[in-house]
Amino acid sequence: MKKELLIASALVSTMGVASVAEAVTASTSGSMTTGIRGTNLDSSASDTTARVTTASFSVSLSETTDGGVGIASSFMLANESTTGLQTGGLTLTFTDGSKLDVMTAGNAAASHDVSVPAGAGEASITVTTTNNASNSLDFFGAATGIGVEWHSAADFMMDGLKIGVSYSADNGAAATSSAKLESSWGVGATYVTDAGDTALTIGMGLADSTYKVSGTQPSAEENGYHVGISAVTGDLTIAGGFADGDDLQTGTTVTQEEMTQEVSKVGIKYVSGDLTMSVGYATGSANDGSFGSGATASDSLDTTAAGIAYAVASGVTANLGYKSIDSSDEGSSETSGGSSWYIGANLAF
């Protein structure tokens, strides 16, 4: 009987505490994409057509302390296009406008790359996994879930400047049959200014990392830099970016390789009322080889993308997209490239 009374007393006390606690502010967002994708692969004599459907639903939680510090986090309830659920870290927003991401923070170099226009919709082709060339300005800049990233407020030290700094620590995983990220750091900056009627945005980032490896050590670990510029004049946007550095392919299910990478991207976007037209081109090259051997073979990936997006209603966009990929692996043209088109709609809230 005494145990039951103690349990009941604890339950009542807990309920009393819960009754005076206030809940954080929650908001939801999500999207639904559905359409038709056609592909014409270099490896196949016939075209294929398939339905494409993706959906996501996420919850954002936030509250502000009496001292004016914002505390926020988020989690994803469902995402049909990826494996598993995605959970955000913790973000603190201070009264001066600066922010601090704690856990799952990412790398500051990636936070300051310039957005380069490309296609629209879900036109897509997957090239062979042995082709290590990238079309992303963020191919470097690894981070563990145990890390922090600080974002300055706008107009940091001068008008139009924002900067960021990040650091990731060892997550304690053993380097058994693959390399494991031990630590990483990154810095980035974005500068916004006007040149007559044109708004200019310049972004740049720098990152480096160290790995622990069981067995042969790589000749170089993951590091690099990127720089880009975007110019907006009225409804016209022209942007381009360049990245260079070293990258590692790690994991127990893939061949461990080290590579030197270069990526260049250019794109144009024009907005006319509810209609947005865009076209972009990206080219990437990678000299790759096994750990310790240095770069011994050359891969390349060239992508041309174009798209038209039409705002049908609030939150509803119709998309028409096209993508063409030329792929080269180990110095020879291969047949995993081709072209793809897409027509569909995206509904977001």
Tokens of 306: 């174009």
pLDDT of the residue at 2? 44
Domain boundaries, the chain: 25-348
Residues in the chain: 349
pLDDT of the residue at 234? 95
Tokens of 269: 């976007």
Q: Which residue has the tokens 């990127």?
A: 226
pLDDT of the residue at 1? 44
- CATH number belonging to domain 25-348: 2.40.160.10
Q: What is the pTM of this model?
A: 0.82
**How many Å apart are CA 53 and CA 289, to the nearest integer?**
37
112 SS3 class: helix
Quick one: CA dihedral 31, 79, 49, 43, positive or negative?
positive
Residue 111: how many other CB atoms lie within 10 Å: 23
**How many Å apart are CA 190 and CA 135, to the nearest integer?**
21
pLDDT of the residue at 254? 63
pLDDT of the residue at 233? 97
Residues 40, 47 contacting (CB under 8 angstroms): yes
**Consecutive sets of 10 residues in the chain, 349 residues long: mean pLDDT of each?**
40 40 84 93 82 90 93 78 64 94 89 93 81 88 88 95 94 68 93 95 95 78 94 97 90 74 96 96 89 77 96 96 89 77 95
Listed in sequence order, the residues at least 6 apart from 87 whose beta carbon sits closer than 8 Å to its beta carbon are 74, 75, 76, 104
Question: Burial of 295 by CB count in 10 Å (0-12 exposed, 13-18 middle, 19+ buried)?
Answer: middle
